[in-house]
Amino acid sequence: MSGRDRELRLTLLAGVSVLALAVGAQNARASDLAERASVKAAQAAAYAPSWTWWVEGGAFDTAGKAVGTGSQTLVPNRQVIPGFGGFRPNWGGEGAIGFDWKAPALDPWHISAQFRYGRATKSKPYVANFAGTTPFIPPAVITFVGSASANQDLREDHWLLDFAVGRDFGLGTSKAQWKIGVRVADLRAKLSADGSFATAAHLCFIGCIPFGTVAGNFSEQQKSTFLGVGPRLGVEGETPLAGNWSLDWQGGVAALFGKRSLDQTFSAAATATAASITQSSSSRAAVFNPDGQIGLSYSFNPNFKLTASYRVDAYFNALRTIDSAGNIVNADRIYHGPMLRLTTQF
């Protein structure tokens, strides 16, 4: 082999070696980039928001049958005071807190819970005129004409606790989630009245002549409660609008099974005489409980938003009360009003 042939072979071998090294380096670099991209994707998935926490507060009005008490008979002269109450509370305040947890291992499943509490009160003066008649020596009778006044105080409280499991699903451009879980709810109404009465008595035969006066104090208290638990099915979602704005919505329905009760105590005291009346009523109850909420949200960043909404939460035939005729009747409770919510994700 001549020197020229040897030089040509060395040149070819060197060129092939350089080409092989370049291809190998390129493949190694591509593999490294793919590995880095995979690591970044895994890190992004690991750091994707899995916790959502929110707090909410606002005001609510109460709809449904007004709380009242039936007429009561004053002793010792059998005079009847018309029923107290017949009114609902003023606007009240309500607050809530909740969370939604979505672990990567559970995707697309969620675990969520919320607690909500509200209270409303009202004070109202009570003034009533009444009259009564009681036998004396036949055919004579004693008639009474009088008046009563009192201060009435009404307080209503309600709270609920939800636990649910949810799952993501597609709904057009909306991010939506259906939920199934359990709800515990407690509703309470308490009406108190404390006052005084005064009457003038007349003995009537052919005509009427003054027979004396009777004065005294009385008090009335009525408590109505419902405590129930049952399954709830719900759906919620977020529909994007222009820019950072979105429409948040949710709704659900629950069937609550529990106990509905009513306790009432009336007492009156006149000169050297006192008496009291107590009655109670309770039964098992099934309460239909639909609720819904819709609001406009603004996202300050991907992990923080503010929502202004309107909420309605209804409990049909949840409480018991007494009408002016003294009949025990069921009362709906529908709470509705504006809410403001702060939501954060991490």
What pLDDT is attached to residue 187?
Answer: 98
Q: Are residues 93 and 15 in the same domain?
A: no
Tell me the pLDDT tens digit for each residue of 209-251: 887 777 888 888 999 999 999 999 999 999 999 999 999 999 9
Q: Are residues 259 and 303 in the same domain?
A: yes
200: in domain: no
Note whether 16 and 159 are same-domain residues: no
Answer yes or no: do 37 and 167 share one domain: no
Tokens encoding 165: 């499991």
Whether 211 is covered by a domain: the verdict is no
What pLDDT score was predicted for residue 78? 55
What 3-state class would DSSP assign to 337?
Answer: strand
* Separation in Å, CA 204 to CA 75, 146, 210: 20, 16, 9
Q: Do 115 and 11 share a structural domain?
A: no
Whether residue 29 sits in one domain with residue 55: no
pLDDT score of 258: 98
pLDDT at res. 246: 97
Residue 148: predicted pLDDT: 85
Is the domain of 33 the same as that of 61?
Answer: no
Angle at 128 between CA 126 and CA 132, to 5 degrees: 145
Domain coverage including residue 226: 50-75+82-122+155-191+220-345
Where the chain has pLDDT below 70, the residues are: 1-49, 71-82, 271-272, 324
Residues 264 and 326 in one domain: yes
In this structure, are 67 and 41 located in the same domain?
Answer: no
Could you tell me how far CA 43 lies from the centroid of its own chain?
39
pLDDT tens, 20-76? 434 444 444 444 544 454 444 444 444 466 999 999 999 999 999 888 877 666 554
In terms of Cα–Cα distance, which of 338, 271, 290, 318 is closest to 64?
318
Q: Provide the number of structural domains found in the chain.
A: 2
Is the distance from CB of 193 to CB of 222 less than 8 angstroms? no
12 is a domain residue = yes
The pLDDT score that the predictor gives to residue 79 is 55
Q: Does residue 60 contact residue 70 with C-beta atoms inside 8 Å?
A: no
Locate tokens 């672990």: which residue? Answer: 103
Same domain (yes/no): 186, 173: yes
333 falls within a domain: yes
Q: What is the CATH number of the domain that holds 90?
A: 2.40.128.100
pLDDT given for residue 236 in this prediction: 97
Spatial distance between the Cα atoms of 237 and 175, rounded to a whole number of angstroms:
5
Q: How is residue 66 annotated by DSSP?
A: P
Domain co-membership, 322 together with 244: yes
Q: How confident is the model at residue 242, as a pLDDT? A: 93
Do 177 and 240 share a domain, yes or no? yes
Pick from 282, 276, 281, 278: nearest CA to 264 = 278
